[in-house]
Amino acid sequence: MSFISIQGLTVAFDGTQVLHGIDLEIGRGEALGLVGESGCGKSVTWLAALGLLPGKARVGGSVKIDGEELIGASRTQVERVRGKRIAMIFQDPSSSLNPVHRVGRQIMESLTLHRGLKGQAAKAEAIRLMDLVGIPSAATRIDLYPHEFSGGQCQRVMIAMALAGEPDLLIADEPTTALDATIQAQILDLLSQIRAETGMAMVLISHDLGAVSAVCDRAAVMYAGRIVEMNDTAALFSAPRHPYTRGLFDAIPEIDGDRGRLKPIHGTVPDPRALPQGCAFAPRCGSADTRCHTRSPEPQAGREGGLLACFHPVAWAVPLMTSPQGIPA
Amino acid sequence: MPKFILAKLARAFLTIMMVMTFAFIVLRLSGDPAQVLLGPDAPLDAVIAFRERWGLNDPIWKQYLAYLTQIMRLDFGVSMRSQTPAINLVLERVPATLALTIPALILKLGIGIPAGVYAALHRGSLADRGVIMLSIFGFTIPSFVLGLVLVLIFAVSLTWLPSGGQDTYWHAVLPIITLSIGGIGILARFSRSAMIEVLGQPYIRTAMSKGLPWRDVVWKHALPNAAVPIVTLVGFMVGALIAGAVVVESIFAWPGVGRLIVISVANRDLAVVQALLLVIAASMVIANLLVDVAYGLLDPRLRSKRAAH
Ligand SMILES: Nc1ncnc2c1ncn2[C@@H]1O[C@H](COP(=O)(O)OP(=O)(O)OP(=O)(O)O)[C@@H](O)[C@H]1O
Ligand SMILES: [Mg+2]
């Protein structure tokens, strides 16, 4: 049985539906990449699963962890899952740390809560974690406040805090956006290493397709509150079937590529308040026909495994000519 | 002592000096102090003696310096009416006023803040709407109306409590209630919005995502942040401890500083008015200093901003 199982997850804010039924299973120790343009619902999916959305959000569907339902569960039930079973690294690191508490205290809080560490033991472990995520001179900086750290360092403090509870599943929401390329690689490496040691599962939410392909076993592509394609990373990256997935890959600039090859997806993500009829991607899609504009394609098992929600997938036989940077074709 | 505290003290001192200078200028502009203080019908020799006594024939800068030196010695001269030193007259009245304003402040804090926080934590509930309605009522009703209504109900109709004077503890009840209602309303309203603002911050979501019990999220993460704006408002209330009861003291014939302000202004007892000004300015400045110290304790960002100066 999968560790976490999401079925038909829906979220609406003030009557505007932003998630339209997400189905997702993640096994123990598995790493799943979640990609898609800004606003497609990547963060909201996991905030909803953990009950962290503001009160005005209406959440439907089911999220089960080891068979235990989280949606509609009591506060104490959800609190037992947070941090211990599922930890989350948030997108905006600087404002996600409490400005009036020392970073060490914020890390130790998790250590006390989940591992019963107190006093010197907690402090030593907090320093070790800060060291681990690459914060220089952790032993002295443990007593500093968040505003005394750079955005990238705050992000690393967030990561240390999430790792403190030794969670079974780590949701890393853009964990490396505030970091430069070398640190980014170090952090991804660190996460992979920890996963190898502890068997922690991970969801990597990222705009960086290279990072997803390097770290994740499977990847799901979201568009306008739906998963439109999901497959093993290797299969998905070598032969994307959904025109949107294909478009995402084509839009990646390549270091050695000439400039003319960059092909952005035309148009913009639809406003959740005014979704087009039928397939939400149809207005931007080259191969859309009348059916696409009237009916929404259901996700179906594809020929090559995985899931696909498209009436006119990109031909399977045609291999991707230009593989994304850093990914073996 | 940290440099910023010294800087604050210097600024506080300057503020008080500016207030007193302002008082000096106004006094001089409003006419010959001898005439003003002694009245238009004063005999000429009295006026001359007064001028001699207070150095009014000296050049103005010399008079100003003399005036400042007097202030430092807390010597404002003698009240026209009671012939006692003005500053004593003022300081004598302070305990009576504090006997009303300190219990009122405690009520404001003790009821206003918990009510506001509770409302924020149960946003949209019946209790929340109740708190909003009562607080609007609290800070819109003028204190003289509230005082009179309370007197009519509890002193005149029910005769449970006295309507004025200072003879027993019971005499303080109605003035204290009248004083505190408005502040309770304002604090409840303000604490509620400060708390709602903080609860929507990303770091609260982080605290929840750790698995902290809700109680700890509120006490350890939300309240310390909400305290920063609330302290500002409390600072204003502390600053008004001495001069904030003018209306209520008048309604209830309570012999405090507020009554003294009314009486000495009406009588043009300028020595007393000046002494009052100093005491009131000093109390506000001290409240300001306390707020600054509290900010530093509550918010590390402000602390390091100061250290950088
Ligand atoms: N608190 C909120 N109130 C109202 N709408 C919200 C709220 N949070 C998210 N939304 C909306 O939900 C949709 C999905 O947002 P979400 O944050 O999940 O996007 P995302 O895929 O994580 O994007 P990004 O890559 O920019 O982080 C967006 O249309 C967003 O405007
Ligand atoms: Mg997001």
pLDDT at B97: 95
Residue B266 tokens read as 């009406």
Who's near B22: CB < 8 A, 6+ residues apart? none
State whether A165 and B298 contact (CB < 8 Å): no
Q: Would you call B215 exposed, middle or buried from its count of C-beta atoms within 10 A (0-12, 13-18, 19+)? A: exposed
Which amino acid belongs to residue A179?
L
The number of the ligand nearest the C-alpha atom of A56 reads 1
Tell me the C-alpha distance between B119 and B117, whole Å: 5
User: Is B215 inside any structural domain?
Assistant: yes
pLDDT at A323: 47
Q: Which residues from B are below 8 Å from A83, CB to CB?
A: 209-212
Least confident segment among A192-201, B26-35, B195-204: B26-35
Q: Would you call A269 exposed, middle or buried from its count of C-beta atoms within 10 A (0-12, 13-18, 19+)? A: middle
Q: Which residues from A are below 8 Å from B209, CB to CB?
A: 50, 52, 82-83, 87-88, 90
Buried b / exposed e over B133-169, threshold 16 CB at 10 Å, is ebbeebbebebeebbeebbeebbeeeeebbbbebeee
Three-state SS at A214: helix
Question: Torsions phi, psi of A11, nearest 5?
Answer: -140, 135
Neighbours of A84 (CB within 10 A): 18
State whether B206 and A147 contact (CB < 8 Å): no
User: Is B236 inside any structural domain?
Assistant: yes
Q: Encode pLDDT of B221-232 as tens digits.
A: 999 999 999 999
Token match 């909803």: residue? A48
**Interface residue B93 vs chain A (CB under 8 A):** no
What's the DSSP call for residue A288? -
Residue A222 tokens read as 């979201």
Which amino acid belongs to residue B8?
K
CA of A186 to the centre of ligand 2 (A): 22
- The CATH number that applies at residue B156 is 1.10.3720.10
Tell me the C-alpha distance between B56 and B189, whole Å: 52
- Is the pLDDT at B103 greater than 50? The verdict is yes
Kindly tell me the number of DSSP H helices and DSSP E strands found in chain A.
Answer: 11, 12
Tell me the C-alpha distance between B239 and A131, whole Å: 48
pLDDT at B265: 83
- Alpha-helical (H) ranges within chain A are 42-49, 75-81, 103-115, 119-132, 138-141, 151-164, 181-198, 209-215, 233-238, 243-250, 290-294
Tell me the C-alpha distance between A288 and A310, whole Å: 10
Range of the domain at A244: 234-326
A67: nearest Cα among A7, A107, A12: A7
User: Is B197 inside any structural domain?
Assistant: yes
**Interface residue B298 vs chain A (CB under 8 A):** yes
Tell me the C-alpha distance between B25 and B100, whole Å: 33
User: Is A285 inside any structural domain?
Assistant: yes
Tell me the C-alpha distance between A6 and A46, whole Å: 10
Tell me the C-alpha distance between B186 and B136, whole Å: 8
Tell me the C-alpha distance between B42 and B66, whole Å: 24
User: Is B117 inside any structural domain?
Assistant: yes
pLDDT at A274: 87
How does DSSP assign B84-151, residue by residue? Answer: SBHHHHHHHHHHHHHHHHHHHHHHIIIIIHHHHHHHHHTTTSHHHHHHHHHHHHHHHS-HHHHHHHHI
- Edge to edge, the sheet with strand A68-69 lists A16-26, A4-13, A57-65, A68-69
pLDDT at B33: 67
User: Is A284 inside any structural domain?
Assistant: yes
CA of A45 to the centre of ligand 1 (A): 9
Token match 């007259």: residue? B89
User: Is A104 inside any structural domain?
Assistant: no
User: Is A306 inside any structural domain?
Assistant: yes
Task: Find residue A172's DSSP bridge partners.
Answer: A89, A204
- Is the pLDDT at B264 greater than 50? The verdict is yes
pLDDT at A59: 96
Q: List the single residue in B201, B209, B220 with the smallest CB-CB distance to A83.
A: B209
Neighbours of A231 (CB within 10 A): 24
B268: nearest Cα among B67, B85, B81, B82: B81
Q: List the single residue in A55, A96, A147 with the smallest CB-CB distance to B301.
A: A147
**Interface residue A99 vs chain B (CB under 8 A):** yes
* Residue B3 pLDDT class (50, 70, 90 cuts): confident
β-strand A226-232 against A307-308: which pairing, if any?
antiparallel
Who's near B180: CB < 8 A, 6+ residues apart? B103, B104, B105, B107, B108, B111
A98: nearest Cα among A26, A147, A42, A166: A147
Residue A151 tokens read as 């955005």
Task: Find residue A202's DSSP bridge partners.
Answer: A31, A170
Query: How many domains would you assign to chain B?
Result: 1
Of B208 and A183, the structure prediction assigns the larger pLDDT to B208
Which amino acid belongs to residue A133?
V
Query: How many domains would you assign to chain A?
Result: 1
Residue A92 and residue A78 in contact, taking contact as beta carbons nearer than 8 Å: no
Task: Find residue A31's DSSP bridge partners.
Answer: A202
User: Is B100 inside any structural domain?
Assistant: yes
Who's near A219: CB < 8 A, 6+ residues apart? A32, A33, A34, A35, A212, A213, A230, A231, A233, A236, A237
Residue A90 and residue A132 in contact, taking contact as beta carbons nearer than 8 Å: no
CA of B63 to the centre of ligand 1 (A): 69
Chain A, residues 111-140, CB within 8 A of chain B, namely 113-114
Range of the domain at B114: 93-271
- Is the pLDDT at B147 greater than 70? The verdict is yes
What's the DSSP call for residue A2? -
User: Shortest Cα distance from A8 to chain B (angstroms)?
Assistant: 23
Q: What percent of chain B clears pLDDT 70, i.e. is strictly above it?
A: 95
State whether A158 and B206 contact (CB < 8 Å): yes
Tell me the C-alpha distance between A193 and A199, whole Å: 10
Who's near B48: CB < 8 A, 6+ residues apart? none
User: Is A276 inside any structural domain?
Assistant: yes
Residue B242 and residue B282 in contact, taking contact as beta carbons nearer than 8 Å: no
User: Is B260 inside any structural domain?
Assistant: yes
Residue A290 tokens read as 């009348």
Task: Find residue A58's DSSP bridge partners.
Answer: A12
Residue B143 and residue B179 in contact, taking contact as beta carbons nearer than 8 Å: yes
Tell me the C-alpha distance between A30 and A183, whole Å: 23
Weakly modelled stretches of chain A, pLDDT under 70: 1, 254-262, 303-304, 316-329
User: Shortest Cα distance from A84 to chain B (angstroms)?
Assistant: 7
Residue A43 tokens read as 């963060």
Task: Find residue A170's DSSP bridge partners.
Answer: A87, A202
User: Is B158 inside any structural domain?
Assistant: yes
User: Is A174 inside any structural domain?
Assistant: no
User: Is B87 inside any structural domain?
Assistant: no
Q: State chain A's mean pLDDT as an integer.
A: 88
User: Is A41 inside any structural domain?
Assistant: no
**Quick one: which atom of ligand 1 is closest to the CA of A54?**
1
User: Is A270 inside any structural domain?
Assistant: yes
pLDDT at A258: 59
Residue range B80-104: average pLDDT?
A: 91
**Interface residue B205 vs chain A (CB under 8 A):** yes
pTM of the model: 0.86
Who's near A193: CB < 8 A, 6+ residues apart? none
